Structure 1
Amino acid sequence: MIHEKPKITVQDSGRKTVINTCTEPCPIERGMRVIGGKWKGSILWHLQEGPVRFNDLARQLGGASKKMVNQRLKEMEDIGLIERKVLSTRPIAVAYGITDFGRSTLRVLEQLKDWAEQNNL
């Protein structure tokens, strides 16, 4: 189904009726499933300049626990937004970098950042 803006009709009684509702996830919902969720946008934003080691990334995110960062990184790696590179095995050191697919989200994130700043959010 191609997502269209919902059409609202107003009946004589003043009651509003919404037609053309989505019966399956629309493009907005599908996109939010990929880049929505706590910390995903911030992680992508911090990786845009190059790979970042796990501990450095966790520090940059401030309020996120290492467990939460690890969960988000695994989710993002599974869908192809980021890639994990093992730098050394003893002690274990890994860095995360943004993929081309992940980089394709940066324009949307930039627009979201601008919108939030313009609206003092």
Structure 2
Amino acid sequence: MDNTTTITDMERPGPRHACDCPVEDWLAFLGHRWCALILWHLKEGPRRFGELEDQLVGVRPKVLSERLDDLTGRGLIERIEEAGFPRTVRYVLTERGRKVVVILDQFELLCRS
């Protein structure tokens, strides 16, 4: 095989633990309760914490805060502080987050068929 057709070890099927698979990692992350729904709500535009809390019936503030931190850490959303009084914070999808939402929308279509 030449260099243009080389398959990396991660692309080659074989025995490995799920924690070694980046796809499994992302599916597990998105499978956390609320992560996908937060992204789904943010596709409509920036939201404040309280707006997300109102839209996610049953989410506890601590859990919502943790999920927002996790999504920010993965580069899927951005936390934007707005000047003014009182100071407000909005969350918005990043380009990477918009790409993930496209994939989630495809999953939704599969669920409907």
Question: Counterpart in 2 of 1:21?
Answer: 15
- Report the number of matched residues: 104
Runs of at least 4 residues of structure 1 off by over 6 A? none
TM-score (norm 2): 0.78
Give the whole-Å Cα distance in 2 for the aligned partners of 1:102 and 1:29. Answer: 18
1:2 to 7, 10, 22: 10
1:101 aligns with 2:109: no
Give the whole-Å Cα distance in 1 for the aligned partners of 2:53 and 2:86. Answer: 18
- Partner of 2:39, secondary structure, is helix
Gapped runs of 5+ residues in structure 1? 6-19
Residue pair 1:82, 1:98 contacting (<8 A) in 2 also: yes
Decide whether aligned partners of structure 1 residues 91 and 79 sit closer, same or farther in structure 2, where only a CA change above 3 A counts.
same
- Partner of 1:97, secondary structure, is strand
Give the whole-Å Cα distance in 2 for the aligned partners of 1:52 and 1:66. Answer: 15
Question: Counterpart in 1 of 2:105?
Answer: 110
CA shift, 1:89, in A, is 6.1
CA shift, 1:90, in A, is 4.2
Decide whether aligned partners of structure 1 residues 77 and 89 sit closer, same or farther in structure 2, where only a CA change above 3 A counts.
farther
CA shift, 1:2, in A, is 2.7
Question: Counterpart in 1 of 2:27?
Answer: 32
Q: Which entry has the higher C-alpha Rg, 1 or 2?
A: 1
TM-score (norm 1): 0.73
Decide whether aligned partners of structure 1 residues 4 and 62 sit closer, same or farther in structure 2, where only a CA change above 3 A counts.
farther
Gapped runs of 5+ residues in structure 2? 1-8
Give the whole-Å Cα distance in 2 for the aligned partners of 1:45 and 1:21. Answer: 34
Please state which structure has a larger fraction of its residues in strand. 1
Question: Counterpart in 1 of 2:74?
Answer: 79
RMSD across aligned positions (CA):
2.0
